[in-house]
Amino acid sequence: MSVVIPFKALRPARSFAKDVASLPYDVLNRDEARALVSGNAVSFLRVEKSEIDVMPPDSEVPEKIFEKARENLDGLIRQGVMFQEEKPCFYIYRQRMGDHEQTGIVGCASVSEYESGKIKKHELTRADKELERTRHVDTVNAQTGPVFLTYRSTEQIDRLVEGFKAEVPEYDFTADDGIVHTAWVVSDPADVGKLSEGLKTLDALYIADGHHRAAAACSVCRSRRQANPGHRGDEPYNFFLSVIFPHNQLRIMDYNRAVRDLNGYDKESFFRRIEEKFELCPDFTKKSPDALHTFGMYIDGKWYQLVAGKDLYEETDPIGSLDVSILQTHLLGPLLGIQDPRTDQRIDFIGGIRGMAELERLVDSGKFVVAFSLFPTTLEQLMAVADAGLVMPPKSTWFEPKLRSGLFVHRLK
């Protein structure tokens, strides 16, 4: 059984939804965010990434940043841009990006199920990022960005969601990047009950994206639980804001790599070493692989295909059979000397949304010498890793489209 509860969302008035909705805080740097919100006083980036409104621009005083986030959120409420729902609701949230469409349920997942491992993880979190988000949630007294969860799809939940989508939507707008966002409010107590019961049939939930948000929610819950002598278990801090999608609607994009040098090799000797483990094929016109265990490589203005030898991996190994693992274990590590991709400054990671042209640009610019394109990790691989209680290598998954922040906020009071 999975516990997901309805909640009284703080959300924008319909006429403000498009202007409020923002990209997540962690896909933009400060300068990019500041440029994006120029001329938009109600963008939720002013809450999620409030350092853009803290002066001087190079301020490194975290307290000012978190206090500014709270001030900006209070301002949106005071101005009537956002309002608090009067009764607990679920919400249906659909995103359409080109010909891809995915529809999730917005609700609040259980911190205790996260702590017990019933909500399954596949990534490690960084202590500094977790602390930053914890302080943000604690100061603002709200979870401002949702955790992206998935579940193995069920016909029962699919039918319920499709029924709600037949109603008139509360929000329906196209963002500046062309992605269409549509949302429905599920407020009737009978409908809320049906959806709650449907979600209870799920054996597990999986974090697709948002590990730091989930960890921060857990951290805030622990501290408030300890500070509350009358703790009951049903307080808002015991739950975290989530959008929950069926696994068969999600799309993971490739997460590619670029390396600044050949670790002392010249091109010919580098190729000879590659051929010890991979089949090297020139003139790879596709640029992006169309099957697992194959890779594209761009170097010196040309594309090559690398096919991993079958002795390099065991298909039953949920970590070792990942393409990111094969590339790291048999090429990036031993040949290029990238032993810790989390910290090595010689490697960069490029989300597939930016395409093969971005890999070519990076190498052609001279800043990088070689780039590798990968076949996307599958949802089945992600779930297998999480089910085994294991951790994926860094930068294994890139989800698109990104969930917008600001459409639904979970206040902790």
Residue 382 lies in a domain: no
Tell me how many helices (H) and strands (E) the chain has: 13, 21
Cis peptide leading into 56, omega within 30 of 0? yes
Q: Are residues 195 and 182 in the same domain?
A: yes
Q: Are residues 170 and 301 in the same domain?
A: no
Instruction: Please provide the distance, in angstroms rounded to a whole number, between the alpha carbons at the two ends of the chain.
Output: 27
- What string of DSSP letters covers 295-346? EEEEETTEEEEEEE-GGG--TT-TTTTSHHHHHIIIIITTTT--S-TTT-TT
In tens, the pLDDT along 114-128 reads: 999 999 999 988 899
Query: Position of tokens 């990006």?
Result: 97
Q: Is the pLDDT of residue 90 over 70?
A: yes
Q: Are residues 182 and 84 in the same domain?
A: yes
Residue 388 lies in a domain: no
Residues 178, 250: Cα–Cα separation, whole Å: 18
Question: pTM of the entire structure?
Answer: 0.91
Residues 326, 317: Cα–Cα separation, whole Å: 11
- Position 296, amino acid: G
Mean pLDDT of 23-39: 91
Q: Is the pLDDT of residue 158 over 70?
A: yes
Query: Position of tokens 């607990």?
Result: 88
Nearest-Å Rg of the Cα atoms of the chain is 23
Residues 404, 179: Cα–Cα separation, whole Å: 10
In tens, the pLDDT along 294-340 reads: 999 999 999 999 999 999 999 999 999 999 999 999 999 999 999 99
- The domain in which residue 45 lies consists of 4-251+400-411
Q: How far is CA 103 from CA 28, 162, 234, in A?
A: 24, 9, 27
In tens, the pLDDT along 160-181 reads: 999 999 999 999 999 999 999 9
Q: Are residues 210 and 272 in the same domain?
A: no
Q: Are residues 208 and 176 in the same domain?
A: yes
* Among candidate residues 204, 62, 214, the one with its CA nearest the CA of residue 124: 214
Q: Are residues 194 and 128 in the same domain?
A: yes
Q: What is the CATH number of the domain that holds 339?
A: 3.30.1760
* Three-class DSSP category at 199: helix
Residue 38 lies in a domain: yes
What domain count does the chain have? 2
- What string of DSSP letters covers 270-296? HHHHHTTTEEEEE--TT-S-SSTTEEE
Q: Are residues 190 and 75 in the same domain?
A: yes
Residue 139: phi, psi to the nearest 5? -75, -45
Q: Are residues 144 and 261 in the same domain?
A: no
In tens, the pLDDT along 203-231 reads: 999 999 999 999 999 999 999 999 999 99
Residue 389 lies in a domain: no
Could you tell me if residue 287 is left (phi over 0), alpha (psi between -120 and 50 degrees) or otherwise beta?
A: left
Residue 276 lies in a domain: yes
Residues 270, 139: Cα–Cα separation, whole Å: 52
Residue 390 lies in a domain: no
